[in-house]
A = this chain, B = another copy of it.
Amino acid sequence: MNKLTIVKAENLKAKPDSDHLGFGQYFTDHMLVMDYTEGKGWHDPSIVPYGPIALDPSAMVFHYGQEVFEGMKAYKTAEGQFSLFRPDMNLKRLNISCERMSIPQVDPELLLDGITQLVSLDKDWIPEGEDTSLYIRPFIIATEPCLGVRAAKQYKLLVILSPVGSYYPEGIHPVSIFVEDEYVRAVRGGTGMAKTSGNYASGIRAQEIAKLEGFSQVLWLDGVEKKYIEEVGSMNVFFKIGGEVITPELSGSILAGVTRDSVMTLLRSWGIQVIERKISVAELFEAAREGKLEEAFGTGTAAVISPIGTMKWGEEQIAVAGGQTGEISKKLYDSITGIQKGVLEDPFGWRNIIV
């Protein structure tokens, strides 16, 4: 990777109203781009004005889906600095995803430097309101113009930035979940542990059906036995049962979430036992019936903590924490966003000050 070049936008865009950002609808003035050519490696990293990319219609990403992506966030801290949250974890995972999808890996330090320069250049786009941040989306697509089914020989990496509000229009309020037992998101031996577009494409149909029936998200079961809980929507999932917290173990079909890791670390630092193991939907509903299911929540970069208020499995519907945001869910949300925004101490060194 040679030296980063910067071409600044001549006209800056008007910034959106920070009270109505939504998620991933607005994009900043610049983006980072870098190309890969077989034999040459990754080359010509540059920051350029945000704008359309031109691809041959036979570019392999359009046909065989070789793609990986990441999601991270930048924050303006209480002291007026700008920070990223655990970017090393995301860049490490990007390369794990690359390996699974046969995409050439990227030097994480050089990419982090590029992202840092990009965010610094567009720092006026980092919103300051509650629950807001600057979402960072690095992604790599196969660009070689060829219809043979094989790994491509040309790729393009891009990093785009989007000022965002809450992922869910409801904010941190509890969501309703539908246990999906027909459609499957991923299976052991598949691509579930990689952050790649196909995993999300496969989930859209089930999500649409759940929405039509009045639910916010689906709870995914494993693809083999359709018994064990994997993820909720595009998040990892946690359950507090009888005082201890359980999250599905990383089986190969579950994404190793950065927020998942942060949640486990925080809970353990508070003296709460966290167990990574298989948990069946039957066990979960049994615990609910016995009054032992105290809280349930999804975790992810976009939503941070998303409390689950109700869950429906077949004909049975249960309320969790009385349909309210549970105590642990709230404390985790406040702690993580507090560390991110520099309002709280950062005991684990997660805050990465960039400007």
A201–B64 CB distance below 8 A: yes
Identify whether the interface residues of A are mostly helix, strand, loop, or mixed: loop
With contacts A58-B162, A61-B62, A187-B184 taken as known, whether A201 is within 8 angstroms of B67 at the C-beta atoms is: yes
Taking CB atoms and an 8 Å cut-off, the chain A residues in 142-170 that contact chain B are 145-151, 158, 160, 162
A63–B137 CB distance below 8 A: yes
Taking CB atoms and an 8 Å cut-off, the chain A residues in 29-65 that contact chain B are 31, 50, 52-58, 61-65
With contacts A50-B57, A53-B55, A57-B50 taken as known, whether A204 is within 8 angstroms of B64 at the C-beta atoms is: yes
A101 within 8 A of B: yes
The segment out of A5-13, A20-28, A313-321, A347-355 that lies at the interface is A20-28
Number of copies: 2
Contact string against B for A residues 166-201, beta-carbon threshold 8 Å, 1 for contact and 0 otherwise: 000000000000000011111111110000111111
Shortest CB-to-CB span from A330 to chain B, Å, is 24
Residues of B within 8 A of A233 (CB): 149
Residue of B nearest to A24 (CB): B147
A135–B158 CB distance below 8 A: no
A64–B25 CB distance below 8 A: no
B58–A62 CB distance below 8 A: no
With contacts A150-B204, A197-B65 taken as known, whether A226 is within 8 angstroms of B27 at the C-beta atoms is: no
A234 within 8 A of B: yes
Shortest CB-to-CB span from A245 to chain B, Å, is 25
A202 within 8 A of B: yes
B199–A62 CB distance below 8 A: no
- A102 touches which one: B158, B190, B205 (CB < 8 A)? B205
A132 within 8 A of B: no
Residue of B nearest to A207 (CB): B150
- A158 touches which one: B57, B183, B189, B190 (CB < 8 A)? B57
Residue of B nearest to A202 (CB): B191
With contacts A23-B147, A147-B23, A202-B198 taken as known, whether A187 is within 8 angstroms of B223 at the C-beta atoms is: yes
A312 within 8 A of B: no
A141 within 8 A of B: yes
A208 within 8 A of B: yes
Rank and list the top 9 A-B pairs by shortest CB-CB distance, nearest first: A198-B198, A24-B147, A65-B197, A184-B189, A65-B201, A64-B200, A52-B54, A187-B187, A187-B223
Report 11 cross-chain contacts, Cβ distance below 8 Å, ordered by A residue: A24-B146, A53-B55, A53-B57, A58-B160, A63-B137, A64-B200, A102-B205, A147-B162, A149-B204, A149-B207, A190-B190
